[in-house]
Amino acid sequence: MKINCKISYNLDILCFLNALSSDDYYVSRHKQAYDSFYPLFSHDIKEKIKKLVKWNNSPIFAPTFTLLISAVPSFSDMNIYNLLQARSEIEDGISKTPYHFNENEYDEIFARFSDTIIPLIYELENNGFREYWNTVKLPIIQNKISELEPYLSQYNLETLIGEFKDFSGEEMDVYICSFANPHGIKLCGNTLLTDVVYNQETILANITHEVFHPPYVYSDIKEYVDILAKKNFVIKAFNEQNPLSGYSEMPGFIEEHIVEALGTYITYILGVEKEPYEYFKKHDGGSHVLSPLFFEYLLNNKRKPEQSMNDFFISFVKTVNRQ
């Protein structure tokens, strides 16, 4: 599996929206850029940002917005304003992925693109954001890529990932951004984004994690996800998670646990993750209560070539349900 490290201004500027929400969770990580550009916004844009946060019920904009634009094959080369108005291309691209939005959701999102995101980006660029990104952020990203590519090439990820997902002969595009921190984000297809501040080991972990989204066909195994969702220890972890972790619905919360275990299993086998159980205790405030269970299952139960990931997951759920 060839990994291509890439750069995208369009992805990065949408990731910056998280910090522009003014939530300290993001501002603290991108304070210099926030302090440089947020005060320059007009009163109208600042009010629109507040309404955007309220509409979204969260300052976490980047995962949804970057996913949507990545449905367009030429998303990284297109003019950002044209891209955010390319509804038919985005809808067509998303329809070919496991991700789905209904008509009302598309109406809402593209209304926000039109009345808030496009005017916001216009003011950002009018105040020198593109020049800032090109002179300050771009060289840092380029240096990271020059260090990262030889590091990643030493690992035979195709064989290990291929135990659970067929990536034979395929390529993966990894976009290195400067405003994604603290997230790694799965995009459409074999594509993800990560952040330039992460060390090589963390970016490898991002790759081995995001590649597994989605780990199964949810509609086919919903009843087994529901079994886990009724477990008291899972309910407790879901209710006590940090709201900014981004998992507002139980199926997504459980999927993240399964994917976290798969990614950690790969880095453990590679010898990169030395203390997986300690990692699970600390990651996302210790909310990944299913991850260590599935990780243990992965260590003790090799998936048979004829066994689908759906069936493998069902076997895991049956094991947990007997305990």
Q: How far is CA 131 from the centre of its chain?
A: 27
| Mean of per-residue pLDDT scores for the chain | 94
Which tokens hold the place of 11? 């992805």
Who has greater pLDDT, 47 or 155?
Answer: 47
Q: Is the pLDDT of residue 56 over 70?
A: yes
- Which pLDDT score is estimated for 131? 98
Which tokens hold the place of 158? 């195709």
Neighbouring residues of 3: CB distance < 8 A, sequence distance ≥ 6: 149, 152, 153, 157, 171, 172, 174, 207
Please state whether beta strands 185-186 and 191-195 pair in parallel, antiparallel, or not at all (unpaired): antiparallel
Peptide bond into 182 cis (omega under 30): yes
Q: Where is 51: in which H helix or E strand?
A: helix 43-56
Task: Classify the phi-psi angles of 135: left when phi > 0, otherwise alpha if psi is within -120 to 50, otherwise beta.
Answer: alpha
Neighbouring residues of 19: CB distance < 8 A, sequence distance ≥ 6: 26, 27, 29, 30, 33, 34, 179
Work out the angle at residue 233's Cα, subtended by the Cα atoms of residues 228 and 236, and round it to the nearest 5 degrees. Answer: 110
Confidence bin at 245 (pLDDT 50/70/90): low
Q: Is the pLDDT of residue 244 over 90?
A: no
Peptide bond into 214 cis (omega under 30): yes
pTM across the whole model:
0.89
- Which pLDDT score is estimated for 2? 82
The order of strands in the sheet holding 185-186 is: 2-6, 171-177, 191-195, 185-186
Confidence bin at 250 (pLDDT 50/70/90): very high
Tens-place pLDDT, residues 69-87: 999 999 999 999 999 999 9
Confidence bin at 5 (pLDDT 50/70/90): very high
Q: Is the pLDDT of residue 170 over 80?
A: no
For residues 103-112, average pLDDT: 97
Which tokens hold the place of 307? 């066994």
- Which pLDDT score is estimated for 150? 93
Pick the range with the lowest mean pLDDT from 53-67, 134-148, 154-168, 250-264.
Answer: 154-168
Four-point Cα dihedral 19, 21, 24, 28, nearest 10: 20
Which tokens hold the place of 121? 């980006």
- Which pLDDT score is estimated for 143? 98
- Which pLDDT score is estimated for 165? 84
Q: How many CB atoms lie within 10 A of CB 290?
A: 25
Tens-place pLDDT, residues 267-315: 999 999 999 999 999 887 788 899 999 999 999 999 988 899 999 999 9
Confidence bin at 323 (pLDDT 50/70/90): confident
Which tokens hold the place of 175? 């976009």
Q: Is the pLDDT of residue 169 over 70?
A: no
For residues 251-255, average pLDDT: 94
Q: Where is 176: in which H helix or E strand?
A: strand 171-177
